[in-house]
């Protein structure tokens, strides 16, 4: 399963570590977990907290049990997180592949153009301005890829870390 969420990567690893710590070790309901995330990360609303919870799940930092979500005891290793990000966050693999195939740096708009065909029809119909929504999403994916050492940010755009 691939998760569609990619919250704002502002404060990258620090925010990720704080979000990870906010998930209880003893399973709690989604509502309880979202309330903890919202409070501890000073998030504007429950929807944003729910995005963080799903993102943590995608990265293998939280797990849903029959009693609710619980924190997965693990290190925040960039390599492991990067692999989970690439495989379990929708669009990440495609954006990273586009960067890897590019001759040079790509801006977020160029990266979006490279992957726009993979945006499902239901996503296009879901938003009044789906292109803006997905340009923003691709920009967040690129910034998370920087956090996970998969991509380098340069003055003229982003490049795959191996370039």
Same domain, 88 and 64: no
Cα 39–72–147 angle (5° rounding)? 70
> Where is the domain boundary, 71, 93, 115?
71
Residues 61/78, Cβ–Cβ less than 8 Å: no
Q: What is the CATH number of the domain that holds 55?
A: 1.10.10.10
Average pLDDT of span 3-30: 92
* Percentage of residues of the chain with pLDDT beyond 90: 80
33, 51, 71 - which closes a domain: 71
User: Does residue 67 share a domain with residue 92?
Assistant: no
Q: Looking at residue 130, which CATH number applies to its domain?
A: 1.10.10
Q: Is residue 3 part of a domain?
A: no
Question: Domain for residue 7, yes or no?
Answer: no
pLDDT greater than 90 at residue 159: yes
Total domain count, the chain:
2
The most confident of the ranges 13-22, 119-128, 154-163 is 13-22
> Is the pTM value of this prediction over 0.75?
yes
* pLDDT tens-digit series, residues 92-104: 999 999 999 999 9
Instruction: Please count the other Cβ atoms lying within 10 Å of the Cβ belonging to residue 42.
Output: 8
Q: Does 107 fall in a domain? A: yes
Q: Is residue 34 included in any domain, yes or no?
A: yes
Domain that holds residue 31: 12-71
My answer on whether 83 and 44 are in the same domain is no
Is 92 in the same domain as 138? yes
Residue 104: C-alpha distances to residues 7, 84, 118, 152 (Å): 27, 25, 22, 12
Do 53 and 109 reside in the same domain of the chain? no
CB atoms within 10 A of CB 5: 18
Distance CA 142, CA 107 (A): 9
148/107 same-domain check: yes
Is residue 2, in this structure, part of any structural domain at all? Answer: no
Same domain for 113 and 66? no
User: Does residue 55 sit in the same domain as residue 92?
Assistant: no
Phi, psi of 64, rounded to the nearest 5 degrees: -90, 130
pLDDT digits (tens, 9 = 90+) for 62-72: 999 999 999 99
pLDDT reading at 163 higher than 70: no
């Amino acid at each position: 399963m691939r998760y569609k969420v990619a919250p704002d990567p502002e404060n990258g690893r620090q925010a990720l570590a704080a979000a990870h710590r906010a998930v209880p070790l003893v399973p709690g309901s989604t509502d309880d977990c979202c309330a903890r995330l919202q409070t501890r990360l000073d998030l504007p609303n429950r929807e944003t907290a729910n995005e963080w919870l799903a993102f943590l799940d995608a990265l293998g930092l939280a797990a849903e049990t029959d009693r609710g979500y619980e924190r997965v005891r693990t290190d925040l290793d960039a390599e492991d997180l990067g692999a989970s990000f690439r495989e379990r966050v929708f669009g990440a693999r495609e954006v990273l592949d586009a960067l890897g195939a590019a001759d040079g740096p790509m801006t977020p708009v160029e990266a979006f153009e490279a992957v726009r065909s993979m945006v499902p029809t239901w996503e296009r119909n879901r938003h009044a301005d789906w292109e803006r929504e997905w340009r923003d999403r691709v920009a967040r994916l690129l910034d998370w890829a920087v956090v996970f050492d998969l991509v380098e940010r340069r003055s003229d755009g982003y490049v795959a870390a191996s370039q």
